[in-house]
Chains A and B, each alone.
Chain A
Amino acid sequence: MDITSLFTQFLSGLTYGTILFLVAAGLSLIFGVMNILNFAHAALWLMGAYFSYTFWNLMQEYSFAFWLSIPLAGFAAAAVGWFLEVVLIKRIYKRELHEQLLITYSIALILSDTIKLTWGVTNKLIVRPEMIRKPVFIFGSPLDSYFIFVILSGAAVAIGLWWFLKYTRYGHIVKAAVYSREMVAALGIPIPRIYTWVFTLGIFLAGFAGGIQAPIGSITLGMDNAIIIQAFCVVVIGGFGSLLGTLVGSLIVGEVFSFTILYWPEGAMVLIFVITAAILIVRPWGLFGTPMRT
């Protein structure tokens, strides 16, 4: 296999990894700060995709509709996330992990039915603008031109989150809350309010990722079932709560999948699960996670 083909496959892995990162970033952030394993994350991601379709549909005649619908999907999903946090999630912070999983799984089922009732069962298709319907060639390797935007968005989210956590006051509070929420609360910082906004931000990322996913294929019910498993693999490999870990985990999953397909197509997904299982056994806190949390 020539170098161009290998580079093409690398680019495919990069795009796949970026899409996974966008989904997993919010999941990891919410778990890292709030200790909530949100099984409904992918359902909110799917809702974001449907929101994006609705916004695009409403503004179709305008050239900016396609691009604007993506962040708007993030905000709409964030509103749903905020509501869920205030009404439900707030009440399960101190519950056992298995209870949290059951409750968030129930939320996922409710959201799936809500999506079905709101948007119906028919697939939704967003028609891309002419300028991103053809491939671009990077060193002779074809790349879906829309994926340039996807990769840049992934990079922007990674940098934005890193900057937020490292350089802003709220970022420092959020990071501090990861390690000792009691100490943060003792300083007079309202932890519940911080949690609400962290959850909302996490769901904004899910909705934004859904908006980005929407024009890649068609939007269909049940899309969330597969992605949530892969997103969990990503955060397990990278380490729950670690932004860098999520990024690296996504890229590992994307590239492993992409290159395994060339040589052992049947085993591409299996290998990812094997890596995930191995990490869980050898280093349960993931590649970049921390073993000690209070």
Chain B
Amino acid sequence: MDFRKTTAFFVTVITCLFFFGMTGAKAAEPYNLGVALGLTGAGALYSADGVEGIKLAVEEINAKGGFLGQHKVELFIRDSQTKPDVGVREVKDLILRDKIRAVINDYSSAVAMAVKPIAQEYKVLHIASISNSENITMINPSPYTFQVVPNSYMQAKAAAVAVAKMANQKGWKEYITIASDYEWGRSTQASAVKFLKESAPNLTLKKEFWPRLGETQFTSYITGIMAMKPDFVLGSVASNDNVAWMEQAKTYGFFDKIPYPGSLITVTELQLQAKTLPRNMIALTRAPFFAHMDNPMMADFVKNYRAKYNKYPSDWAVLSYDAVYALKQGVEKAKSIDTEKVKDAMKGLTVDLTRGKLTFRTIDNQLSCSSYTGTIADDPRYPFPIYKDIIEIKGSESERPESEILEARKATK
């Protein structure tokens, strides 16, 4: 055998293999997806469910080859501890060390707002799936930040529509608010008060209570509110605090004496407080799975989620699952995992999610999604109460007008 020919043959083969290998490796480049949620601290309860939803979505997508059928999604999960400084530190680390292309963050709006400029600086997509302060997308907007949860304005308007109807029917005159003393609580309360002023101008706000985030003792608030005898109370108490607030208020017979409409009672509370939650209470939530069981994507999600985690998905699991699928559809529209292209593709994009076909608004990247009110009632199909007589308030009915957003942006410049 000619030694030179043989050598040339092997060199050619090895070179080809090397370059094919390179191309192959490039084609299979993974998509690094960061998750920075408040796995400890006040947001632990909701964030843990969010992570479960994300993991399930990623498993399903990877089973089909990943994004665009070839980019496996690799998850990098960090604990923001529901603290802005920790959230920023962890997201920076995810960007610099783990080279993430997108991050789902956070439970706390304060953390999400602190992370927003970091994501913009490093050109990383930032998707808010649990935190819902309107200011995340309204003020100082970032083209990289998207929100898949109804924001505080949308939720407050949805609640106000329901409450105004009741106030007119029952002749209510005075009310009190109690809201967690941080970004989300403050902005939700402010919006609710504004909407009520518009929809029921005869109502008077008698007092505002601001328990701090992480409050465990609500007794003084409860008895104080009861002593003031308002016609009704509007509440925006967050996560873990909401459980403590509800449990303690109930033992004082608070809900039997004072109407408490429009408070956030999500599927988490419905499950956790199944035995003790007051029935016939009118409440509000963000993404209850049972409102969309007629959508095959939701039905499949619930089935798979139950199979994997042996429980029903909370709003936070639904929203975070949707966040991953919204990103997937952005990548598909862009036909690339390049962040700049995906970011542009997601602007104004209509996506198929568990909650139906929904569109990202061009002006603020807020998903035009629904809020849900209903009456808490038992249902034989579930081991916990759900909402009956559900009213779905569409995004188009509850969004802030674009002109107001532009004005707000002008005012903050």
Contact call B216/A221, Cβ cutoff below 8 A: no
Please state if A121 and B40 are interface contacts (CB–CB under 8 Å). Answer: yes
Q: Return the chain A residue nearest B176 by Cβ.
A: A265
Residue B64 at the chain A interface, CB threshold 8 Å: no
B272 engages A218 (CB within 8 Å): yes
Instruction: Determine if A12 is an interface residue (Cβ-Cβ < 8 Å).
Output: yes
Q: Which of A121, A128, A226 contacts B45 (CB 8 A)?
A: A121
Which residues of the other chain, A, contact B215 by a CB distance below 8 angstroms? Answer: 226
Do A265 and B209 form a contact, CB below 8 Å, given A135-B252, A222-B44, A226-B214? yes
Cβ < 8 Å to A, chain B residues 211-246 = 212, 214-224, 226-228, 240, 243-245
Contact with B along A132-148 (1 / 0, CB 8 A): 11110000011111110
Question: Which applies to chain A's interface (DSSP): helix, strand, loop or mixed?
Answer: helix
B208 at the interface (CB under 8 A from A): yes
B251 in contact (CB, < 8 A): yes
Instruction: Knowing A116-B40, A257-B220 are in contact, say whether A134-B244 is a contact too (CB < 8 A).
Output: no
Q: Contact: B224 with A19, CB < 8 Å?
A: no
Q: A8-B227, A16-B220, A223-B216 are in contact. Are A134 and B272 (CB under 8 A)?
A: no
Whether, in the assembled complex, A217 has its beta carbon less than 8 Å from a beta carbon of chain B, the answer is yes
A125 close to B272 (CB less than 8 A): yes
Contact B253 A8, beta carbon cutoff 8 Å: no
Residue of A nearest to B273 (CB): A125
B276 at the interface (CB under 8 A from A): yes
Taking CB atoms and an 8 Å cut-off, the chain A residues in 181-234 that contact chain B are 213, 216-218, 220-223, 225-227
Q: Does A114 contact B (CB under 8 A)?
A: no
Give how many A residues have a beta carbon under 8 Å from the other chain's beta carbons: 50
A216 and B216 contact, Cβ closer than 8 Å, known pairs A121-B45, A123-B45, A265-B207: yes
Q: What residues of A have a CB within 8 angstroms of the CB of B40 in the complex? A: 112, 116, 121, 221-222
Cα A19 to Cα B248 in complex, Å, equals 14
Partner of B214, one of A1, A123, A142, A225: A225
Whether A218 contacts B41 in the complex (CB less than 8 A), given A142-B223, A142-B226, A223-B214, comes out as no
Which of A146, A147, A261, A269 contacts B209 (CB under 8 A)? A261
Q: Mark A104-125, 1 if CB is under 8 A from B, else 0.
A: 0000000010001000111101
Contact between B247 and A218, CB atoms less than 8 A apart: yes
Point out the residues of chain B lying under 8 angstroms from A227, CB to CB. Answer: 216
A28 CB-CB contact with B under 8 Å: no
**Assembly CA distance A128 to B251 (angstroms):** 10
B182 lies within 8 A of chain A by Cβ = no
Q: How far is it, in angstroms, between the C-alpha of A252 and the C-alpha of B228 when the chains are bound?
A: 23
| Least CB distance, B333 to chain A, in whole angstroms | 35
The complex places the Cα of A142 from the Cα of B249 at a distance, in Å, of 11
Contact indicator A123/B253 (Cβ below 8 Å): no
| Chain B residues in 8 Å Cβ range of A80 | none
Q: Does A246 contact B (CB under 8 A)?
A: no
Contacts of B44 in A (CB 8 A): 121-123, 220-222
Q: Does B275 contact A (CB under 8 A)?
A: yes
Bound-complex Cα distance A9 to B253 (A): 15
A29 at interface, CB cutoff 8 A = no
Of the candidates A19, A135, A142, A269, the one whose C-beta lies within 8 Å of that of B212 is A269
> In the docked arrangement, what's the CA distance between A14 and B223, Å?
12
Q: Chain A residues near B210 (CB, 8 Å)?
A: 265-266
Closest Cβ neighbor of B181 among chain A residues: A266
Most buried by B among A141, A147, A220: A220
Hey, which chain B residues are within 8 Å of A268, CB to CB?
A: 220
> Could you tell me if B208 and A12 are in contact, using CB atoms closer than 8 angstroms?
no
Quick check: A121 and B48 within 8 Å, CB to CB?
yes
In the complex, whether A70 has a CB less than 8 A from a CB of chain B is: no
CA distance A218 to B220 in the complex (A): 17
Give every chain B residue within 8 A of A125 (Cβ-Cβ). 243, 247, 272-273
- CA separation between A228 and B340, bound complex, in Å? 47
Q: What is the CB-to-nearest-CB distance from A291 to chain B, in angstroms, rounded to a whole number?
A: 32
Indicate the member of B82, B251, B275 with the most A CB atoms within 10 Å. B251
Given A123-B272, A223-B214, A262-B227, verify A218-B219 contact (CB < 8 Å).
no
> Is B369 an interface position by the 8 A CB rule?
no
Query: Which A-chain residue is minimally distant from B276 (CB atoms)?
Result: A127
Nearest A residue to B41 by beta-carbon distance? A222
Q: Give per-residue flags for B243-270: 1 if the beta carbon is below 8 A from chain A beta carbons, else 0.
A: 1110110111100000000000000000
Q: Do A220 and B226 have beta carbons less than 8 Å apart? A: no
In the complex the two chains form, what is the Cα distance from A62 to B82 in whole Å? 38
| CB nearest neighbor in B for A262 | B224
Interface flag for A258 (CB, 8 Å): yes
A290 within 8 A of B: no
The answer, yes or no, to whether B327 is at the interface (CB within 8 Å) is no
A132 CA / B247 CA spacing, docked (Å): 12
Contact B272 A144 (CB under 8 A): no
| Bound Cα distance A266, B275 (Å) | 33
Interface centre among B207, B221, B227, B245 (most CB of A within 10 A): B227
Assembly CA distance A9 to B272 (angstroms): 29
Minimal beta-carbon separation of A51 from chain B (angstroms): 17
- A242 adjacent to chain B (CB < 8 Å): no
Query: In the complex, what distance in Å separates the CA atom of A63 from the CA atom of B210?
Result: 38
Q: Tell me the complex Cα distance, A223–B253, Å.
A: 25
Q: Which residue of A lies closest to B82 (CB)?
A: A222
Q: Is B136 an interface residue (CB 8 A)?
A: no
A144–B251 CB distance below 8 A: yes
User: Is B39's beta carbon under 8 Å from chain A?
Assistant: yes
Say how far A261's CB is from chain B's closest CB, in angstroms: 5
Chain B neighbourhood of A71, CB < 8 A? none
User: What is A's interface to B at a CB cutoff of 8 Å?
Assistant: 1, 5-6, 8-9, 11-13, 15-16, 19, 112, 116, 120-123, 125, 127-128, 132-135, 141-147, 213, 216-218, 220-223, 225-227, 257-258, 261-262, 265-266, 268-269
Q: Supply 10 A–B pairs (Cβ within 8 Å), ascending by A.
A: A8-B223, A9-B223, A12-B222, A121-B47, A125-B247, A127-B275, A216-B216, A217-B245, A220-B240, A265-B207
Sample of 16 further A-B pairs with CB below 8 A, known A13-B220, A133-B250, A223-B214: A16-B219, A121-B47, A123-B272, A125-B272, A127-B276, A128-B251, A216-B216, A217-B245, A218-B247, A218-B272, A221-B41, A222-B214, A226-B215, A257-B220, A261-B224, A265-B210
